[in-house]
């Protein structure tokens, strides 16, 4: 059976975690009513992205109170949630994290963004030290990256080599970067034989204007669905078996020459 996913493209409410959790509850109900088993929310969804040092102040440890509220929402609506948020550790570091909670409220995966974008991110966040390992969700192997990560081919390729069939990317792609959504995302899907689900923000936030254009691309490079510029929920069915022929026609993973790729670092 295909995995039905929903991407919620939203402006959110910067600095207001309560409002964003309430909106996630409503979105989860709508996504489940549409048959989705997974709802993907944007980068730094809980607190907002372009909020400077406030992102650190609003971050919490793993499985903190806000996590518990999101886990309860997942249980209540019977849907897995992937959402972006700030996460702190015992040493006081803050990470730009995406957490996957399954429909039973269990924390299945937490990935800290490893490629930080610009001085603004580096002033608040610590880069993650691993790309993580894909996990099984309803029979589909799912990997996670955050925003800028997907623009590095090595990151997507690493997850694909680890068995990922779907790579989910909470993002905050701002203007003027349309080629990332329109060109790069389908290319990443095609060159790795995977689905890529790219869930962006829309509208504006402090100094930034977001592109929207949330996208789901298939292993043959086709666009399954793409949002416009405004708030929207989009759906796609992820069926890896339907693309077996496409992967056979493009055997990039098996035809690699890793012995040639040890160039300058």
229 is catalytic: no
**Pick the catalytic residue: 94, 147, 168, 202?**
147
- For the question of residue 68 being annotated catalytic, the response is no
- The burial of 40, by beta-carbon neighbours within 10 Å (0-12 exposed, 13-18 middle, 19 or more buried), is given as buried
- Indicate which residue of 43, 121, 151, 205 is catalytic: 43
Handedness of CA 114, 83, 89, 161 (dihedral sign): negative
Confirm whether 205 is a catalytic residue: no
- Please give the Cα distance from 197 to 54 (Å, whole number): 28
Angle 198-153-39 (CA atoms, 0-180°, nearest 5)? 20
- For the chain, give the secondary structure using H, E and C: CCEEEEEEEECCCCCCHHHHHHHHHHHHHHHHHCCCCEEECCCCCCCCCCCCCHHHHHCEECCCHHHHHHHHHHHHHCCEEEEEEEEECCCCCEEEEEEEECCCCCEEEEEECCCCCHHHHHCCCCCCCCCCCCEEECCEEEEECCHHHHHCHHHHHHHHHCCCCEEEEECCCECCCHHHHHHHHHHHHHHHCCEEEEECECCEECCEEECCCCEEECCCCCEEEECCCCCEEEEEEECHHHHHHHHHHCCCCCCCCHHHCCCCC
Give the active site residue among 94, 113, 202, 205: 113
Active site residues: 43, 113, 147
């Amino acid at each position: 059976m295909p995995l039905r996913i929903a991407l919620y493209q939203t402006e959110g409410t910067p600095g207001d975690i309560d409002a964003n959790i309430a909106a996630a509850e409503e979105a989860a109900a709508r996504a489940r009513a549409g048959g989705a088993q997974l709802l993907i929310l944007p980068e730094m969804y809980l607190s907002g992205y372009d909020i400077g040092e406030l992102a650190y102040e609003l971050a919490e440890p793993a499985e903190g109170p806000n996590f518990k509220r999101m886990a309860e929402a997942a249980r209540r609506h019977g849907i897995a949630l992937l959402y972006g948020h700030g996460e702190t550790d015992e040493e006081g570091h803050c990470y730009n994290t995406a957490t996957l909670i399954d429909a039973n409220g269990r924390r299945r995966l937490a990935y800290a963004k490893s490629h930080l974008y610009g001085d603004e991110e580096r002033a608040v966040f610590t880069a993650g030290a691993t790309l993580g390992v894909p996990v099984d969700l309803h029979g589909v192997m799912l990997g996670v990256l955050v925003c800028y990560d997907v623009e590095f081919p090595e990151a997507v390729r690493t997850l694909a080599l680890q068995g990922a069939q779907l790579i989910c990317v909470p993002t905050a792609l701002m203007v003027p970067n349309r080629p990332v959504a329109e060109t790069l995302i389908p290319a990443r899907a095609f060159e790795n034989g995977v689905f890529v689900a790219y869930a962006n923000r829309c509208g504006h936030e402090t100094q930034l204007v977001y592109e929207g254009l949330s996208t789901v691309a298939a292993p043959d490079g086709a666009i399954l669905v793409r949002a416009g510029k405004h708030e929207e929920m989009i759906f796609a069915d992820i069926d890896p078996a339907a693309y077996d022929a496409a992967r056979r026609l493009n055997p990039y993973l098996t035809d690699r020459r890793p012995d040639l790729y040890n160039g300058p670092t």
